[in-house]
Amino acid sequence: MRWMRALIPALLWLGACAHARPQVTDTVNTPPDIANLVTLVPPGDVRYREAPVYIDSIRKEELKDRTIILVKGHFPNGCTQLLKASHRVEDDTLHLFLKGWRPAGRMCTQALQPFSYIYDRVPPDTLEHIQSFSYE
C-alpha cells in the first residue's frame, strides 16, 4: 500500500509535464523526413524565464522550390520551447541566435528533447552567398 502513495504523485507529476512538449509544425510544405519540427511559440500570458537551446547542426536544405536553413538541436528539458530566432551576416558567414523559454516554477522532465527548426528569414540572394554558419 505504501507504493501506491508514492506511485500516484509520480504519475501526476509525469502527466503535468506531458502537455509541455514543443509545438510541432503541421504544414503541407514540410517534408515528412524532418523529425521533431518546432516553430516559435510565444509564451503569451505565461510567466516564463529564458532557457538555453543547444544546437547540434545548421545546414542549407532544398525545400520544394526554395532554400532554407535547417537547424537541429536539443532543448534541456521537456518544457522548453523556442522564443525567438534572429541572425546577422558577416562576410560569407551567417550567425544564428536562438533563445528558448520555459514556464517559471514548473517542474519539467530533465531529459534532452531533440528539435528541428526551419529558419527562413534570410533573403534568397543573401543565402546563396553563405558558406559557413555559427550560433550563439
Return the domain boundaries, the chain: 2-135
Burial track 54-90 (b if 16+ CB lie within 10 A, e otherwise): ebeebeeeeeeeeebbbbbbbbbbbbbbbbebebeee
| Tens of pLDDT, residue by residue, the chain (136 residues) | 565 565 566 555 555 444 444 444 444 455 557 899 999 999 999 999 999 999 999 999 888 888 899 999 999 999 999 999 999 999 999 999 999 999 999 999 999 999 999 998 999 999 999 999 999 8
Angle ∠(87,122,73) on CA atoms, nearest 5: 60
**pTM to 2 decimals?**
0.75
